[in-house]
Amino acid sequence: MVESRRGRGRGGRGGAAAAKVVEEEEDDYGEDIIRVDGGMLEGGGQLFRMSMALTYLLKKDCLITNIRGKRGNKGAGLGNQHLTGLKCLKQLIVGSKVKGDFVKSKDVHFKPGKNSIKRDQYEADCKTPGSVHLISQMTLPCLLFQEMPQCKLTIKGGTLVNNSPPAHSYEHVFLPMIRRMGVGVEYEVKKHGLFPDIVGEVEVTIKKLEQQLKPIDLVERGKLLGCTVHVTTTDKFHPIYTDLFKPQFTALFRDKVSATAELTIKDENCPIKKQGSAKVLAITAILHFEQPTCLQANILLDNCDEARGETLAKELIEQLLLLTATPNVCTDEYFADQLLVFMALAEGTSRLTCKELSLHAETIIELLKQFVPEIDIQVSQVGEGEGKYTMVTVKGLGLAPAA
């Protein structure tokens, strides 16, 4: 549960867990303290990241307890990637106060200052292959509202790692969509970061918003025009890609998905140079329709033998068939939650469709409603039977850019 409580006093500190880290008097919390149970719904790192981003953007105190509470005792609390993102946010604003900013901390109090720091260079260094794109998920919305005309964020960590957006889909699906909303952003992989020991680097250049974010309307896609497949491998897995996946996927795509849609396969950094002990086979297939969509399928492996390689093309095709099965589904489960935050910040009404809401998306909706009680978010079901899908409508806040 997330709740906003007005008023001051000494009651309701959020339990013993909050008390062990957050020791200041209740008066220090401010009048609009937001208390977040980090174990609600998805109960993982995304809830922490978006709580901190909304705290920064809306300038509201936030006390989050039970961080990553659904990850069990071993996985609970701040990981290195979460801490790196939090420290980066603290750099952005004068007078920010943070308590609980250490690895394994289960409780964090973030009290943002009021004025942006006027800098044009920032760095976030995981020192491990922690996902650079999850750090960007936390920091990019905030940097749009900085006072400098343009800033550059260098993030060091993992670019192709499990349980996070791979570089291919981040660059070619997510960023093009938010550009449609008026976001000026450029992205470059300087070096791929791979599990277990290769720390990579990306540069994200963000232009200050000149006007409010524009709404998006992702409810109709039209016919399938094409598919672009992005592939990155290390040495060991390169033959699996060239000898098995590529010819099999091409044949299956023509047979199962479309005989006429344009198919493009791009070999990017194949094989990766200076790969150390890392092993990776990363494949992302992006669908293109008449109207803009966020529909992609991906496979990312750090272990793959020939027997496994024989199944890769079929697995990816099955994912694509699920995406194309329901007409007018425009967003897959991995992008709906990422877009919801931008839709909430935008001026006007935005809509997106997906087959069904992921737990991540449900978590973001709950978090937005509690941070901003006046926001209007509607979730409805469209169609029947196998053709049934979900539509999310958000009347945005129209958050004004920095003066």
Nearest to 342 by CA among 250, 209, 195, 226: 209
Question: CA-CA distance, 178 to 187, in Å (whole number)?
Answer: 13
Which of 155-164, 167-176, 266-275 has the weakest average pLDDT? 266-275
Question: Does the structure show a pLDDT above 90 at 304?
Answer: no
Would you state the pLDDT for residue 218?
98
Can you list the pairs that 91-100 forms with residues at least 24 positions away whose Cβ atoms lie under 8 Å?
A: 91/117, 91/119, 91/122, 92/56, 92/116, 92/117, 92/122, 92/139, 92/142, 92/143, 92/146, 93/56, 93/117, 99/21, 99/22, 99/23, 99/24, 100/21, 100/22
pTM for the full predicted model: 0.89
What are the backbone angles phi and psi of residue 149, rounded to the nearest 5°?
-60, -35
End position of a domain, from candidates 150, 183, 210: 210
| Together in a domain, 304 and 247 | yes
76-85, 180-189, 296-305 — most confident range: 180-189
Q: Is 82 tagged catalytic?
A: no
Give the burial string for 182-201 (b: 16+ CB within 10 Å, else e).
bbebebebebbbbbeebbbb
| Together in a domain, 11 and 101 | yes
Asked whether residue 158 is domain-assigned, the answer is yes
Nearest to 98 by CA among 88, 85, 112, 84: 112
| Together in a domain, 22 and 98 | yes
| Together in a domain, 240 and 163 | no
Neighbouring CB atoms inside 10 A of 217's CB total: 16
Strands 217-218 and 349-354: parallel
| Together in a domain, 102 and 131 | no
- The string of pLDDT tens digits covering residues 107-124 is 999 998 877 777 899 999
Residue 338 annotated in ligand binding = yes
Question: Are residues 273 and 336 in contact, defined by beta-carbon separation less than 8 angstroms?
Answer: no
Cis peptide before 239 (omega within 30 of 0): no
Which of 47-51, 161-165, 296-300, 339-343 has the weakest average pLDDT? 161-165
**Inter-axis angle of helices 359-371 and 336-345, nearest 10:** 20
Would you state the pLDDT for residue 385?
87
Question: CA-CA distance, 129 to 62, in Å (whole number)?
Answer: 28
Within 8 A by CB and 6+ apart from 270, the residues are 231, 232, 233, 238, 241
Q: Which two tokens stand for residue 134?
A: 């999850």
Would you state the pLDDT for residue 17?
41
| Together in a domain, 229 and 312 | yes
What mean pLDDT do residues 141-153 have? 93
Would you state the pLDDT for residue 361?
96
Question: Are residues 66 and 1 in contact, defined by beta-carbon separation less than 8 angstroms?
Answer: no
| Together in a domain, 96 and 148 | no
What mean pLDDT do residues 58-86 have? 90
The CATH number of residue 316's host domain is: 3.30.360.20
| Together in a domain, 233 and 315 | yes
Question: Does the structure show a pLDDT above 80 at 320?
Answer: yes
Domain count for the chain: 4
Asked whether residue 261 is domain-assigned, the answer is yes
CA Rg value for the chain: 21
Q: Which two tokens stand for residue 336?
A: 């709906």
pLDDT confidence band for 402 (50 / 70 / 90): confident
Asked whether residue 271 is domain-assigned, the answer is yes
Residue 101 annotated in ligand binding = no
Which of 80-94, 152-166, 245-259 has the weakest average pLDDT? 80-94
Would you state the pLDDT for residue 7?
32
Nearest to 290 by CA among 234, 334, 226: 226
Pick the catalytic residue from 82, 109, 133, 360: 360
Question: Does the structure show a pLDDT above 80 at 24?
Answer: no
Q: Which two tokens stand for residue 221?
A: 């896609």
The CATH number of residue 369's host domain is: 3.30.1370
Question: Does the structure show a pLDDT above 70 at 264?
Answer: yes
Residue 248 annotated in ligand binding = no
The CATH number of residue 143's host domain is: 3.65.10.20
pLDDT confidence band for 174 (50 / 70 / 90): very high
Question: Does the structure show a pLDDT above 70 at 209?
Answer: yes
Percent of the chain with pLDDT over 90: 72
End position of a domain, from candidates 325, 350, 381: 325
| Together in a domain, 86 and 122 | no
Question: Does the structure show a pLDDT above 70 at 378?
Answer: yes
Which of 51-65, 66-80, 215-229 has the weakest average pLDDT? 66-80
| Together in a domain, 34 and 104 | yes
pLDDT confidence band for 28 (50 / 70 / 90): low
Would you state the pLDDT for residue 71?
81
Asked whether residue 147 is domain-assigned, the answer is yes
Asked whether residue 216 is domain-assigned, the answer is no
- The string of pLDDT tens digits covering residues 321-331 is 999 999 999 99
| Together in a domain, 18 and 110 | yes
Asked whether residue 29 is domain-assigned, the answer is yes
pLDDT confidence band for 31 (50 / 70 / 90): low
Question: CA-CA distance, 356 to 95, in Å (whole number)?
Answer: 41
Query: Could you tell me the residue range of the domain that residue 286 belongs to?
Result: 224-325
Nearest to 187 by CA among 56, 271, 173: 173
pLDDT confidence band for 30 (50 / 70 / 90): low
Residue 170 annotated in ligand binding = no
End position of a domain, from candidates 182, 210, 238: 210
Question: Are residues 80 and 129 in contact, defined by beta-carbon separation less than 8 angstroms?
Answer: no
Question: CA-CA distance, 114 to 205, in Å (whole number)?
Answer: 23
What are the helix (H) ranges across 114-253? 132-143, 167-169, 175-179, 238-239, 246-252
Question: Does the structure show a pLDDT above 50 at 12?
Answer: no
Residue 334 annotated in ligand binding = yes
Asked whether residue 219 is domain-assigned, the answer is no
Would you state the pLDDT for residue 396?
96
Asked whether residue 78 is domain-assigned, the answer is yes
| Together in a domain, 174 and 245 | no
Looking at every residue in the chain, the average pLDDT score rounds to 89
